[in-house]
Chain A
Amino acid sequence: MNENKGFADNLPDVELREQRWPSPVWLIPLAALLIGFWLLFQAWYERGPTITVQFSSAEGIEPGKTEVRYKAVTVGKVKKLKLDNELKYIEAIIELNKEIGRHLGTNASFWVVRPRVNRSGVSGLGTLFSGSYIGMDPGTDNDDQSFYKGAERPPVIAPAEDGKRFFLISDSLGSMDVGAPVFYKQLQVGEVIDYELLDNQDRVQLELFIRAPYFQYVHDNTRFWNASGVELNMNSTGAEFRMESLISVLIGGIAFETPAGVAGGEVSKQGDTFVLHRNYADSQEKQYATRLYYVMYFDGSVRGMDVGSDVEFQGLPIGKVENIEMKMDKDSLDVRVPVLVYIQPQYFDESLTKETGEIAMRKLVEKGMRAKLDTVSFLTGQKVITLSMETDPPPASIKATQFYSEFPTTGTAFEELPFIAADIMISLDETLAGINKLVNSGKLDKTVDNLNKVLAEAEQAVKAAKETLKTVDKNTLPSVTNDVNKISQDLSNTMQKIQGSMGQLDRLTAQNSPTQHQLQEMLEEVTAASRALRSLTETLQRQPSALLRGK
């Protein structure tokens, strides 16, 4: 190019060095490559399993947004939603984290958490702001699968919570719901987690979860009772008021107690079954799960006997009347009133089971046990069924029929007590008339001595009559009636007094009595209060935000 020789000749030569390495600038793409690979590897390594969960509604689930959380930690995300082949369910395709994927079991459960107001309270309020999410419980076993069925509501108990499950048998569900609290000494220690109708026994089985460490207070002899609402008992000893907690008044609840004094039972095992008593008072009575059902036919009127009336043995309740019906034989026009009762043989011996109990009852009947109607109170005419050992009864046995076995009965004079009383009144009148005649006839003086004798005899007779009345039966009654014929004025006075007190009782329970009125008023107030409560829960159900913003 430029050939300026003379000048250029004095210039030094350029220094030559060896450089085998390419320009260090290539380290930049190398680093980028490493970073890129690392990021991709990480993304691939962190990828957990993809599973499909079936829900009945996609409400609140948004693909790409809805998270899956376990113990409030995000462990996955819904990638896609699609309908299943029959358009019955939606299937959420969920990508889970690697770590939770490792612990996923076949018994894992999934549910949608959205704001919910129900009888057991308000749940998922946080999702009002954050949107719904899917809760999960990874389950216990470690075999994973790729298809799960989602639950419609969250489990009442948090996954992996420590506690025991028990079963309760009840006549009806009552106001119980899943989530209803279980109290021990007014402390909430558990919840009702499930219920089902026992198909063969016509009873309801509730499943309870009792948290650690409270489950150790459940013993074999522990009694559970329905603690819903307020219990007010008034009896001769005064008024007693029981209320488990305000929550239980609102949504129902179950309380339990292990009676002191009784030889404490074993700590119950998971899955043990108990009876759910109707109320606290009920729970204090002994009650056993085994029930033997019998049908009884009584000759006389069953007036004064209700469903729920006691079946007693020597004054102790051993069962209850379950049903009273009327049945007519279409051909013979023979109308009979079968009374269905149940007897709990464990009252006799706790070790009896259903089978051995039945055998024992059969043997007892062969030995002379009969059922009869007994009047508890002459005032109200309330009756119970008494099982008693008859001396020398006509032979009978428990007859098996189509549905229930028939228990032999024996008649009783007390069914006719009102008639006897009337008889006594008439006889008294006649006696008085006779005495009058005697006085008027002038034979009195002569007969005073006799009369004194008669009176003394009468007094004795009254005593005897009283004694006899307690144990009387049909056969001895006519003679009693004859004895009574000679009775003195004392008895008539007593009858009048009885009538007087009956009149007072009538007034107390009459239609417009103050007692009646006060009761009415109280009921109305309770109704008003419950109506206000219902409107509150309805408002909350419609717009849970009312909690925050007001109506």
Chain B
Amino acid sequence: MIKHKALLQCRVCGCLSHAPTQLKRFEVMHCPRCGARVKLAQQSTSVEVTWALLIAAAILYIPANLLPIMSVYMLGAGQPDTIITGVYHLLEAGQWPLALIVFVASIVVPLLKLFTLSFLLISIQRRSRWRQYDRMRLYRITEYVGRWSMVDVFVIAILTGLVQFGNLARVDANLGSLSFAAVVVLTMFAARTLDEHLIWDIAQQEEAQA
């Protein structure tokens, strides 16, 4: 893998050290001074961590949509709603703009985030050079939009805290909201851990080799 002795700098104490020409399996490099882990650019764990977070998010996306996220009881009547039945109820009530917002923020955006991040990861792993600038933009949008999905969770948390009037009106959070919050947080972390530098890395390497 590593053909010549490269220099490594520890990110913690700044110590420079020589990297070995060859790394055996299961061997990882640590700073000789402070013991912190040091990596070569090619050795970045960004892709691995992002994949892990992304898969966790994808798994939790299923219960987040199947389980009820919130129960609204008014005058004794009401039932737990999943995201999609909530959207359906809003539509039934004629509130289609609201329904659209909830649908986009709670179903489309997390799903799109899962797909775009997967797409970016795959394209990085395949060392693709295809439309690097656009992919960069896609990454930025994903990272920026991601946190707004948390609005749902905040709304539920606030309603649950505020609306507790016994039989008159009551809002309860259900297990689904927890899964949903986990999905949002995990995708946000995944976007964070994905090193956008890697999109360009391949170009740099090739340019350097050329």
Contacts and interface: CB of A to CB of B under 8 A. Distances in A.
Instruction: Report the contact-size class of chain B (Cβ under 8 Å from the partner).
Output: 35 or more
B128 interface: no
A17 B77 contact: no
A379 interface: no
A148 B77 CA distance: 26
B27 A8 contact: no
Contacts of B60: 32, 35-36
B83 to A, nearest CB: 15
B30 A8 contact: no
A32 B57 contact: yes
A12 B63 contact: no
Contacts of A26: 48, 52
Contacts of A548: none
A14 B32 contact: yes
Contacts of A12: 15, 17-18, 32-33
Contact of B48 (A20, A25, A33, A40): A25
Interface string B70-104: 00000111010000010000000000000000000
B141 interface: no
A428 B66 CA distance: 111
A28 interface: yes
Given A8-B7, A14-B29, A16-B28, A23 B48 contact: yes
A393 interface: no
B53 interface: yes
B203 interface: no
Contacts of B33: 12
A40 B63 contact: yes
A28 B175 contact: no
Contacts of B202: none
B49 A23 contact: yes
Contacts of A8: 5, 7, 18
Interface in B128-177: 175
A25 B53 contact: yes
B77 A129 contact: yes
A130 to B, nearest CB: 4
A260 interface: no
Given A14-B8, A18-B26, A126-B76, A25 B52 contact: yes
Given A14-B18, A14-B20, A20 B56 contact: no
B125 to A, nearest CB: 16
B108 interface: no
Interface in A7-44: 8, 11-20, 22-23, 25-26, 28-29, 31-33, 35-36, 39-40, 43
Interface in A28-65: 28-29, 31-33, 35-36, 39-40, 43, 64-65
A15 B32 contact: yes
A32 B182 contact: yes
A17 B62 contact: no
Contacts of B55: 29, 32
B14 interface: no
Contacts of B7: 2, 8, 11
Contact of A28 (B29, B45, B53): B53
A135 to B, nearest CB: 16
B191 to A, nearest CB: 15
A131 interface: yes
Given A18-B26, A19-B28, A13 B49 contact: no
A79 to B, nearest CB: 12
A1 interface: yes
Contacts of A40: 62-63
Given A29-B55, A32-B57, A18 B18 contact: no
A466 to B, nearest CB: 82
Given A13-B20, A43-B66, A130-B77, A28 B186 contact: yes
Contacts of B5: 8
Interface string A64-83: 11010000000001000000
B18 A11 contact: yes
Contact of B63 (A19, A28, A35): A35
Interface string A217-260: 00000000000000000000000000000000000000000000
A14 B31 contact: yes
B119 to A, nearest CB: 18
Contacts of A64: 79, 85
B28 to A, nearest CB: 5
Interface in B1-57: 4-8, 15-20, 23, 26-33, 35, 38, 45, 48-49, 52-53, 55-57
B60 to A, nearest CB: 5
B106 interface: no
Nearest to A38: B63
A65 B56 CA distance: 33
B57 to A, nearest CB: 7
A25 B49 contact: yes
B10 to A, nearest CB: 9
Contacts of B15: 12
Given A2-B7, A23-B49, A28-B52, A16 B29 contact: yes
B129 to A, nearest CB: 21
B18 A39 contact: no
**Which of A25, A126, A130 has the most B CB atoms < 10 Å from its CB?**
A25
B30 A15 contact: yes
B67 interface: yes
Contacts of B112: none
Contacts of B20: 13-14, 16
A29 B20 CA distance: 33
A14 B179 contact: no
**Which of A8, A16, A67 has the most B CB atoms < 10 Å from its CB?**
A16
Contacts of B48: 22-23, 25-26
A32 B8 contact: no
Interface of B: 4-8, 15-20, 23, 26-33, 35, 38, 45, 48-49, 52-53, 55-57, 59-60, 62-63, 66-67, 75-77, 79, 85, 175, 179, 182, 186, 208
Interface of A: 1-2, 8, 11-20, 22-23, 25-26, 28-29, 31-33, 35-36, 39-40, 43, 64-65, 67, 77, 126, 129-131
Given A14-B19, A15-B30, A29-B53, 8 more contacts: A14-B29, A14-B30, A16-B28, A18-B26, A28-B52, A32-B55, A35-B59, A131-B77
26 contacts: A8-B7, A14-B20, A14-B30, A14-B32, A15-B30, A16-B20, A16-B27, A17-B29, A18-B26, A18-B27, A18-B28, A19-B28, A28-B52, A29-B56, A32-B55, A32-B59, A35-B59, A35-B60, A39-B63, A43-B66, A43-B67, A65-B79, A129-B77, A130-B76, A130-B77, A131-B77
The 10 closest A-B pairs by CB, nearest first: A32-B56, A130-B76, A29-B56, A29-B55, A129-B75, A32-B59, A14-B17, A25-B52, A25-B49, A39-B63
